[in-house]
Amino acid sequence: MSTKRPFFVIIPGASQNPAHYGYLSHLLQLAGYPVFSALLPSVGAAGKVTADDDAKYIRDSMLIPVLDHEEHDVIIVMHSYSSVPGSAAAKGLGKMQRGDKKTGVIGQIYLSALLPKGGDGKDIVGAFGGQYPPHIRPDLPANLLRCDDRIPPLYHDAPAELADAVAVSAMAQGMTSFTSPCPRATWDSDEYKGRVAFIRTLNDAAIPLPVQQMMLDATSVEWIVKDIESSHSPQISQPEKLTNILLGMAKVFEAL
């Protein structure tokens, strides 16, 4: 029954919007799982929107409404950048930490996601060597991060017409979200022990597989790890396969 199942709360990556996860959301709902997503404040933001601002928005406007108002458990799906604010937003929302509350975050799923521990004053750029990846161009006067050719790093394995449409609908990312301190992550906290999963995108040109594995190894955390033969954006190029992986993980988290 969908009335008893947890919500998948999908947090879009940098420059992405909920429409990029629309078909994935549809497939999850066809399987009986409710889905919620929303645009992060930092997407398209020329103002000084920090990673912590994104985290507060995720907690107050995406997680708490589902947990407390709709009274459903939550499985968070975080893609790329969104793991930085998304993981922090989940602090204290595990079921054991919620006291007499009936609902909680029962799982965190990281999709080719960044894994800085945070809480040490470092920003995303500093945490990963002080340089932006080759596909990102900082536009300092506009305070935006731009990707001039979005298809090769993000959507290279999607059908051409789909890739074109998705690339056009991606937006510049607010630079401050990458240059402000990373909030403290929760993937290594006791409240989510055994409840964190990472999906490795094996043909990823934006965050190559060796980088994904390096980040995982650096956490010293026991992850549930799944692989998908895709680019950085399997929600676009491999939505059916990604759906099956997410549904399998949901069953694991629901059984704990």
Tens digits of per-residue pLDDT, 64-73? 999 999 999 9
pLDDT given at position 1? 56
Q: Is the pLDDT of residue 13 over 90?
A: yes
Sign for the CA dihedral angle at 62, 186, 18, 255 comes to: negative
Tens digits of per-residue pLDDT, 43-93? 999 999 999 999 999 999 999 999 999 999 999 999 999 999 999 999 999
Please give the CATH number for the structural domain made up of 7-42+50-117+184-255.
3.40.50.1820
Tell me the H-state helices in 67-170.
83-89, 124-127, 151-154, 160-169
Contact between 29 and 5 (Cβ < 8 Å): no
Could you tell me which of 137, 250, 135 has the C-alpha nearest to residue 204?
135
Q: Is the pLDDT of residue 99 over 90?
A: no
pLDDT given at position 111? 98
Contact between 11 and 41 (Cβ < 8 Å): no
Can you give the residue ranges of every domain in the chain?
7-42+50-117+184-255
How far, in Å, CA of 95 to CA of 48, rounded? 33
pLDDT given at position 129? 84
Exposure on the CB side of residue 51, measured as CA atoms within 13 A = 28
- As given in the structure block, the two tokens for residue 78 are 């975080």
Tens digits of per-residue pLDDT, 195-242? 999 999 999 999 999 999 999 999 999 999 999 999 999 999 999 999
Q: Is the pLDDT of residue 153 over 70?
A: yes
pTM of the model: 0.97
Average pLDDT taken over every residue of the chain: 97
Q: What mean pLDDT comes out for the span 25-34?
A: 98
How far apart are the two ends of the chain, measured CA to CA in Å? 18
- All residues at 6 or more sequence positions from 171 whose CB lies less than 8 Å from its CB, including other chains: 15, 17, 43, 44
Q: Is the pLDDT of residue 177 over 70?
A: yes
